[in-house]
Structure 1
Amino acid sequence: MQLELAADELKSVLNRLRRAQGQIAGVIKMIEEGRDCEEVITQLSAASRALDRAGFSIIATGLEQCLTEEGQTVADKDRMRARLEKLFLSLA
């Protein structure tokens, strides 16, 4: 299944991923500088949340597309829903 995000959804997902990218770069720098463990973990947690939210958004969009796509059989939709559910659970 090819994912097609609407422009506003794409912008939101990319912003979350860029935020996570910046946070991870910050974490690397903090570790290299020997910063406080609590500060490092706080930044890691923030990056993890940003990645999770981007993933959930992508999966939700995929599920919506799967369930509304015309021309698919019930079996096709069930298989796709199962695949998306597995992806969702991998993020949980």
Structure 2
Amino acid sequence: MEIEGDALTDVIKRLRRAEGQIRGIIAMLEAGRDCADVVTQLAAVSKALDRAGFKIIATGLRQCVTAEQDGKEPSVDVAQLEKLFLSLA
């Protein structure tokens, strides 16, 4: 499965945002910030990573549906996508 176009751009944007949040969390820990603030930021980065993962899975499902509509064999294994989806849930 390949991620193309707008989906790829969106996933990369989400991952870069998560990367920045992780750097921020590290700085918070090094500065001795309150645990509640750190956990709040950890929850935010976790959500950003989940959204990136779900976007990738949604792209794969879209490729399957498009292939089936065109009468082609899907290049993505639906069972594998389901397993990936459940790993994020």
TM-score normalized with structure 2 length: 0.86
How much identity, in percent, do the aligned residues show?
A: 59
Aligned to 2:66: 68
2: distance between equivalents of 1:43 and 1:91? Answer: 19
Q: Select which of 31, 38, 41 maps to 2:39.
A: 41
Cα shift readout 1:36-82 (whole Å, capped 9, x = no counterpart)? 00100011011001000010000000111123225317xx86xx111
1: distance between equivalents of 2:60 and 2:78? Answer: 9
Q: How far 1:4 sits from its partner (Å)?
A: 2.9
1: distance between equivalents of 2:58 and 2:36? Answer: 33
Does residue 1:88 correspond to 2:71, yes or no? Answer: no
Residue type at the aligned position of 1:42? T
Q: Select which of 11, 14, 26 maps to 1:13.
A: 11
Runs of 4+ in 1 over 3 A off after TM superposition: none
Structure 1, unpaired ranges of 5+: none
SS at match of 1:55: helix
Aligned to 2:50: 52
Aligned length: 86
1: distance between equivalents of 2:79 and 2:9? Answer: 27
Cα RMSD of the aligned pairs, angstroms, is: 1.8
Q: Does the 8 Å CA contact 2:3/2:56 hold for their aligned counterparts?
A: no
2: distance between equivalents of 1:50 and 1:17? Answer: 7
